[in-house]
Amino acid sequence: MAETTKDVIIEKIAKHRIFFSTQKTKSIDFRIVQLRKLKKAILQSQDKIEAALWTDLHKSPEEAYLTEISIVLNEIDYHIKKVKQWAAPKRVATPLHLLPSSSKLIFEPLGTALILAPWNYPFHLLMHTLVGAISAGCCSLLKPSPDTPAVAALLEQLISDNFDANYISIIQGGHETNTLLFSQRFDLIFFTGSPKVGKVVMKAAAENLTPVILELGGKSPCIVDEDADLERAAKRIIWGKLINAGQTCIAPDYLFAHQSIKKELLDKMAEQIKLMYGHAIKQNRLYPRIVNEQAVERLRSLLKQGKIHTGGEVDVAEKFVAPTIIEDVTPDFLIMQEEIFGPILPVLSFKHIDTAIDYVNKNEKPLALYYFGNTKKAQTILAKTSSGGACINDTLMHISNHNLPFGGVGNSGIGNYHGHESFLAFSNKRAVVTTPTWIDIPLKYAPFKYFKWIQKII
């Protein structure tokens, strides 16, 4: 995919700033119209979206709808319903020493936002973020991933056919284009991708004091305790691991199983793989593919250590990696050093839960944490660890509730979005104090004749 030149990037940003200065985007009615326009465009293009996702990732129409299209449509509906309420000024209490002034918060759009999406959910993660930008009243410059070219081309057509290019535009390119973009001044950079590139984004943004929201990743642990419901745990872990062939930032990245139930759990997980995808997984249209051959080779290199319990088949030409469970894993293995981003699940065991807790805590804070077991014990796990989000006796499901913020902590990200948090992500909370002129209390003025009174009040 061709890189975008610096002149084109500068021109697009300038046009966005001019459009934003017209004040059109600050109208709530304008925002709602744009949200409805986006929803209509998605519905009209649904077959094309599904076809593009099939081309790039071998993602079935069912999975494409469940994990990409429906999530965006639900987010749009929620913002249409709530944006008037969210954008309304909020009165806040005023302390006694400031009376008779009044205080309020107003929510103003930040301005022009740069939104960069990754390849693993190329439609969902670009459009879902755009919903927040529209809802808050921002202009947006969108940058899809070049690693999913069919979706990138479709998104370019969808945006250009339905929105004023001065309001929302999209550009294509790879590393060189990203470098040029990061060097420009925006009012917000919203980046979804790896922690490695997140550091590059943050460093570049610092040069212009551009605020950033970084939705990153990391190694999300899954802990299964001795009292867990193994049948449901196996089913829910395999489902969460194999959606999009494991190319999910919040997929269970490694499994910590209590030693007393480990064998039974792994056997049940192997059985769930067959129940979901059959014996001829490569021929099953419901099982996605790895994004490119380079990624397949990287995943194959992770299979060299440990004992393969289930799976292990790799076909580079088909971009296929079978669902694979690896046991006899130790923390020094290569597979435990980096986010897997594929359908491979390494397994460690523990006798006492503190072993699992200590391991989680000595590594970078994960984007998600999953615990299967007694819900009371789960509270101890949550209290003693930190993660961007968590599920108890399930995986992935916290991402689907727009009433919950989604984001990482530390190495797994900065900032939140989804639902109201998306509106806030692209907004400036502006503090306003209004003071009447019919009275002017002299306490605050020099020479502070009433200082003793001031000390009592403040």
Helix (H) or strand (E) segment spanning residue 391: strand 389-392
Which amino acid makes up residue 317? A
Beta-carbon contacts of 394 under 8 Å, excluding residues fewer than 6 positions away, are 236, 240, 370
Partners of residue 443 on adjacent β-strands: none
Task: For residue 249, indicate whether it is catalytic.
Answer: yes
Q: In the chain, count H helices and then E strands.
A: 16, 20
Of 215, 327, 339, 421, the active-site residue reads 215
- The answer to whether 387 touches 220, Cβ cutoff 8 Å, is yes
- Rounded to 5°, the CA angle 7-129-4 comes to 20
Residues 311 and 294: their CA atoms lie apart, in Å, by 20
Task: For residue 138, indicate whether it is catalytic.
Answer: no
Residue 381, exposed/middle/buried by CB under 10 A (0-12, 13-18, 19+)? buried
Helix (H) or strand (E) segment spanning residue 168: strand 168-170
Of 63, 249, 327, 421, the active-site residue reads 249
Instruction: Say how far residue 300 (Cα) sits from the centre of its chain.
Output: 27
CA-based radius of gyration for the chain: 25
Strands 188-192 and 112-116: parallel
Strands 344-350 and 254-258: parallel
Residues marked active site are found at: 215, 249
